[in-house]
Chains A and B, each alone.
Chain A
Amino acid sequence: MLEAAAFYITAAVAVLSALMVVFARNPVRAVLFLILAFFAAAGLFVLQGAEFLAMILVIVYVGAVAVLFLFVVMMLDIDFAVLKAGVTANAPIGGLVALVLAAMLALTGFAWIESETAAANLQSPTPADMTNVAALGDIIYERYVLFFQLAGLVLLVAMIGAIVLTLRHREGVKRQDMHRQVNRTREEAVEVVDVKSGEGIG
């Protein structure tokens, strides 16, 4: 009973906040609703018994990715009127995309329920004698280790690519060199000049 109530409340929060992401007038509020949607999704994971995924979702998406989102959106100088006009203009295309996505989700979902191999998977998402984390680790690092490593490699390439694209060496920029700064002595930093009265250093 309590579980069903928790599910309906979290699911309703997730759907409503996802809608508010699109319809919120203020872009910063839209991002905040997106964060609420992530959070509700994490709650749904917990209800499904996938507490590790839920925590990782909160740590990675809410704690890191969305913070950067929020940074960018807060710094932008956005004209609300133009933004509002964009919503009505793009509504048909957006609606079409949403419809296609919903149809695909429904089709695969129903097919999955009816397929015979899925029936066994429905029974036990996690083996009874294992914690969620250990079961996930078993799958990722024992069974699909190659795919996991390859996915990591793809991310590494993307990361290096992003750095290469944005890195540029500029001439004449003053940089701090910690080593030089700490090893500076009095002899090379201070020069004592004997200035005669009324003449200046010239």
Chain B
Amino acid sequence: MYDFVTQFGPLWGALASVGQILGFIVVLLLSLAYLLLMDRKVWAAVQLRKGPNTVGAFGLLQSFADFIKFVVKEIVVPAGADRPLFLLAPLLTFIFAFITWAVIPVAPGWVISDLNVGILYIFAISSLGVYGIIIGGWASNSKYPFLGSLRSAAQMVSYEVSIGFVLVTILVMAGTMNLTTLVDAQAGGFWNWHVLSFDMLPWPAFLITIPMFVIFFISALAETNRPPFDLPEAESELVAGYQVEYSSTPYLLFMIGEYLNIVLMCALMTVLFFGGWHAPFDIAPFTWIPPVFWFAIKVVFFFFMFAMVKALVPRYRYDQLMRLGWKIFLPTSLAAVFVMAGIVVYTNAGQAI
């Protein structure tokens, strides 16, 4: 994308990149509208309901109707709230959710910024996401939001550690932090995807990467406050956690930010473990579908998994959540980092850096 932008010279190039970013944001928001609808439809189907079916054919316009409803409502700022911070918090969540997408490669060359430290950038920005929640809970000047935000922050910080070690395992295996190079290393068929990584044979790397993928998936659920780890907004105990006092547009920003983080986690699983834009077989009928659609199909599949988990699994208790994160995932992923680093050093693989 960088070459594409610079061919127009400094001024028009800058405008072109702004246009690119805006276009990407619009595409993301539109897909998010339908992913939200899909989430609700899947959830409804599991519970033998119909789900939203009134606005537009099959309820296809439901998300847009919700959007308009949120935007035209009055913004209520509670008395005694820290007004600037109260309004800053949802904006932070919203912005951090979007800027992480800058380094996600959706097709060959289709990436806003091809950073050399792409994985670290994602990790850094997603560790910032916790601020929107803490600030929002504190600035509301109310007990339930504050308790919810404390829970949420502790949970996100705990599970970030194991997500970090999973990312380190993958980047040690691939020998690069650049996401485009990472995806390119998985070309040629589904057995080369990092989740199976048969190209590392005779070393059975899949014995490490498959459990790592499971850990990443569960940690992603916890990191994005999705059920079964939605304790920050557990309605039976905390009403709705850190968003109790939020209404209309600020609430909408929180919700878009949260859902965008979920889609981001799906995209990360696609890029890190499931070969990004590559087709499962590198032969004719599969290669007819453009790469960007393969990427989208995989992301939608993982989003479906997220929706199913929400529908099927009961909520964890908080101490069980902490036990799972610190006593099971952390030692397992740490051991995986050591074993994978050992394999890579011994076989002298991973020379991409």
Which residue on chain A has the smallest CB distance to residue B14?
A2
In the complex, the answer to whether A62 meets B128 with C-beta atoms within 8 Å is: yes
Residues of chain A contacted by B130 (CB below 8 angstroms): 63, 67
Cα-based distance from A26 to B82 in the complex (angstroms): 10
Q: Which of A35, A63, A133, A134 contacts B124 (CB 8 A)?
A: A63
Q: Which of B134, B177, B353 contacts A67 (CB 8 A)?
A: B134
The segment out of A53-61, A84-92, A97-105, A149-157 that lies at the interface is A53-61
Known: A71-B150, A71-B153. A132 touches B116 (CB 8 A): yes
Q: Which of B85, B120, B150, B323 contacts A52 (CB 8 A)?
A: B120
Q: Which of B115, B127, B135, B138 contacts A63 (CB 8 A)?
A: B127
Residues of chain A contacted by B125 (CB below 8 angstroms): 58
The 7 A-B residue pairs with the shortest CB-CB distance in the complex, in nearest-first order: A63-B127, A55-B120, A58-B124, A55-B124, A134-B353, A59-B124, A51-B117
Residues of chain A contacted by B115 (CB below 8 angstroms): 51
Residues of chain B contacted by A132 (CB below 8 angstroms): 116-117
Cα-based distance from A64 to B157 in the complex (angstroms): 7
- Map CB proximity to A onto B202-228 as digits: 1 under 8 Å, 0 otherwise: 000000000000000000000000000
- Asked if B131 CB lies within 8 Å of chain A CBs, one says yes
- Asked if B233 CB lies within 8 Å of chain A CBs, one says no
- Map CB proximity to A onto B307-337 as digits: 1 under 8 Å, 0 otherwise: 0000000000001000100000000000000
Residues of chain B contacted by A62 (CB below 8 angstroms): 124, 127-128
Cα-based distance from A62 to B129 in the complex (angstroms): 11
Which residue on chain B has the smallest CB distance to residue A68?
B157
Closest beta carbon of chain A to B168's beta carbon, Å: 12
- Map CB proximity to A onto B117-144 as digits: 1 under 8 Å, 0 otherwise: 1001101110110110011001000000
- Asked if A166 CB lies within 8 Å of chain B CBs, one says no
- Asked if B160 CB lies within 8 Å of chain A CBs, one says yes
Cα-based distance from A132 to B177 in the complex (angstroms): 11
In the complex, the answer to whether B128 meets A32 with C-beta atoms within 8 Å is: no
Known: A71-B153, A132-B116. A58 touches B135 (CB 8 A): no
Interface size of A by CB at 8 A reads 24
In the complex, the answer to whether A63 meets B128 with C-beta atoms within 8 Å is: yes
In the complex, the answer to whether B353 meets A133 with C-beta atoms within 8 Å is: yes
In the complex, the answer to whether B120 meets A56 with C-beta atoms within 8 Å is: yes
Closest beta carbon of chain A to B93's beta carbon, Å: 15
Closest beta carbon of chain A to B337's beta carbon, Å: 15
Cα-based distance from A166 to B32 in the complex (angstroms): 47
Cα-based distance from A70 to B135 in the complex (angstroms): 9
Known: A51-B117, A71-B150. A59 touches B138 (CB 8 A): no
Residues of chain A contacted by B160 (CB below 8 angstroms): 63-64
Cα-based distance from A176 to B327 in the complex (angstroms): 14
Known: A55-B120, A133-B177. A28 touches B127 (CB 8 A): no
In the complex, the answer to whether B135 meets A55 with C-beta atoms within 8 Å is: no
In the complex, the answer to whether A55 meets B121 with C-beta atoms within 8 Å is: yes
- Asked if A48 CB lies within 8 Å of chain B CBs, one says no
In the complex, the answer to whether A58 meets B134 with C-beta atoms within 8 Å is: no
Residues of chain A contacted by B128 (CB below 8 angstroms): 58, 62-63
Cα-based distance from A124 to B131 in the complex (angstroms): 37
Cα-based distance from A132 to B131 in the complex (angstroms): 28
Which residue on chain B has the smallest CB distance to residue A26?
B82
Known: A28-B138, A67-B134. A55 touches B116 (CB 8 A): no
Cα-based distance from A85 to B45 in the complex (angstroms): 62
Residues of chain B contacted by A71 (CB below 8 angstroms): 150, 153
* Given A32-B135, A56-B120, 6 other A-B residues pairs in contact with their CB atoms under 8 A: A58-B124, A59-B123, A59-B164, A71-B150, A133-B117, A178-B323
Sample (28) of A-B pairs whose CB atoms are under 8 Å apart = A28-B138, A29-B85, A51-B115, A51-B116, A51-B117, A52-B117, A52-B120, A55-B117, A56-B120, A58-B128, A59-B120, A59-B124, A59-B127, A62-B127, A63-B127, A63-B128, A63-B130, A63-B157, A63-B160, A67-B130, A70-B134, A74-B138, A74-B146, A131-B116, A132-B116, A133-B116, A133-B353, A178-B323
- Map CB proximity to B onto A34-57 as digits: 1 under 8 Å, 0 otherwise: 010000000000000001100110
Residues of chain A contacted by B323 (CB below 8 angstroms): 178
In the complex, the answer to whether A64 meets B353 with C-beta atoms within 8 Å is: no
Closest beta carbon of chain B to A63's beta carbon, Å: 3
Cα-based distance from A11 to B343 in the complex (angstroms): 44
